[in-house]
Amino acid sequence: MQFSNLNLDYFSILPEIITALAGVILMLIDAFSKKAGRKLSPMFSLFALVATLASIIALWPRASYTASFAGMIVNDHLRLYFALVIVACGIIATLLASQFLDDEALPPGEFYALMMFATTGMLMMASAGDLVMVFLGLETSSIATYVMAGYRRTDLRANESSLKYFLLGSFSAAFLLYGMALTYGATGTTNIEGIRQILIAGKVIYPQMLLVGVAMMLVGFGFKIATAPFHLWTPDVYEGAPTLVTAILATGPKVAVFAAFLRVFAEGLGTPTAPAVGAQIYDNWINALAVMAAIGMTFGNIVALAQRNMKRMLAYSSIAHGGYTLIGFLTTEYAPVGFYMLTYALMSLGAFAIVQMLAREGDAKTEISDYAGIGFEVPNLSFPLAIFMLSMAGIPPMAGFMGKFYVFKSAWVSSPNLRWLVIVAIINSIISVYYYLYPIVVMFFRPPVSDFTKPRLSPMSQLALAITIIGTLYFGLFPNGALKVLQQKTPGAQQVAVQK
């Protein structure tokens, strides 16, 4: 292969370059000055993430289907939009991290570096044009989050959570990799656009092998987005990990995996009109995902009803939200998934941030009963938490309502086969109102607990909270701006040549 065919477009990987470099520099800051690192590291992380944000926006006019680095990197609107959400999650998490690390007296340097590397992996997932890149991005972000889950090393629950996440995560990665290998064997390429072309041309070498390969990839992705029946790890890991890390686990990686999932399934395997096995595969994965969405929503919501621990409840609620997102996924458009992920990320980060602040050192107070009567003691925390809970329940005018509405509407319009799912989802949303209202009732209408002291709030945490609250209300009231961005289609989607 000639170098001129590779299209080494360094500008298209600028976001990944910035975050990876920032990770290395953060480690150097920590190595040379431990004292200054505590102040400098969060500032530098924020600076790097804002620079990444700027580079993504600068890439926007260049969005096209022309892949760079021999088909490894795709710079289209899907990638840019999801990268934006990922980096936004990273910024909010960084703002929250400094207080967490101070309160727990944990060493700061590696935490920020790991967060930067995790962000690099997530960005790679969003921009991957090849199964190899999807896997590398997934592993980079996963390994970083395994370590972050066990960052508080004296806490046995955190250790258990980290180990459980690591073992099950590796197991699911093996499934994903095996699926990719079989897909490669069946089609002769790992390039996602290449797979699509082969399906459309009807040139699949071994159709059965492709069926099994796709099924295994579905398992791998299903695990990472924590949808039922691959959700078993979620409650334990979310409960045991430090709350800030839980906030990171529940948002950034999930957004990124949905981006890669869309790329592989909605784009690569989204071939309803292809001859023979192409259409069969499309039908199969659509049906499988529909069932997964229905089980995920129902199971998540019903089990969440019985939870008395805030973090476990939010974990089951995130399984349910994964189910709602899958309904948007089934339209094979990226807009509903993207908008739902944006709203979900904002309200989840906000909710977990407040749980983190109320939990104190060592996550001691995460039972819902610990929140009794604090409503008017700390109105600056209880009212935002109420907003996030109502938003998750899907009550207007919060962003959660718009997210759900948009997903349900696109599914209802796009295909009559999805209408039953929308009905299941609406019933589920009604069930979920009960457990989202429960913490609010406890906070405002129960007699207060006696030993309650007001938690400290650093300016950076306040800023992060403000961003999530404003975002939750803004996208609930004025979603048009975000939706307009999402409905941009990369031009020339049809005339794409197979790379390689």
Partner 1 sequence: MFELPIQQLIFLFVAAVAVFAAFNVILQRNPIYSALALIITMCALAGTFLMLEAQFVATMQVIVYAGAVMVLFVFVIMLLNVRTEEARQDRVKYLKLVAPLLFIALLGEVIFVARSVTTTAPPLATTGNEPAFGTVESIGEAMFSSYLFPFEATSVLILMAMVGSLVLARRRTMSEAETLGKLIEESGKPQLTPAEPVAKLEEKKEEIAA
Cβ neighbour number for residue 433 with a 10 Å cutoff: 16
Closest approach, Cβ 105 to partner 1, in A, equals 4
Closest approach, Cβ 418 to partner 1, in A, equals 28
Nearer to partner 1, 178 or 444 (CB): 178
Nearer to partner 1, 28 or 426 (CB): 28
Nearer to partner 1, 212 or 463 (CB): 212
Closest approach, Cβ 113 to partner 1, in A, equals 6
Give the integer Cα–Cα distance in Å for 341 and 343.
6
Closest approach, Cβ 27 to partner 1, in A, equals 7
Which residues, in sequence order, are CB contacts of 213 under 8 Å at separation 6+?
178, 179, 180, 181, 182, 183, 184, 185, 186
Closest approach, Cβ 224 to partner 1, in A, equals 16
Which residues, in sequence order, are CB contacts of 472 under 8 Å at separation 6+?
343, 346, 347, 350, 387, 388, 391, 398, 399, 400
For 102, 359, 374, 379, 380, the CA distances from 454, given in Å and listed in that order, are 17, 11, 9, 10, 10
Nearer to partner 1, 106 or 460 (CB): 106
Q: Which two tokens stand for residue 379?
A: 């109105």
Nearer to partner 1, 3 or 32 (CB): 3
Closest approach, Cβ 132 to partner 1, in A, equals 5
Nearer to partner 1, 23 or 476 (CB): 23
Closest approach, Cβ 102 to partner 1, in A, equals 11
Nearer to partner 1, 34 or 419 (CB): 34
Return the percent helix, strand and coil in the chain, to nearest 5: 75, 0, 20
Nearer to partner 1, 222 or 323 (CB): 222
Point out which residues bind partner 1 (CB under 8 A): 1, 3, 6, 8, 13, 16, 20, 23-24, 27, 69-73, 105-107, 110, 113-114, 117, 120-121, 124, 130, 132-133, 136-137, 139-140, 143-144, 146-147, 150-151, 153-154, 156-157, 162, 182, 205-209, 212, 364, 500
Which residues, in sequence order, are CB contacts of 259 under 8 Å at separation 6+?
78, 79, 82, 86, 125, 126
Q: Are 437 and 361 in contact (CB under 8 A)?
A: no
Closest CA to 388 of 407, 376, 401, 377: 401
What is the residue type of 57? I
Closest CA to 165 of 118, 223, 104, 96: 223
Closest CA to 317 of 301, 339, 294: 301
Closest approach, Cβ 11 to partner 1, in A, equals 14
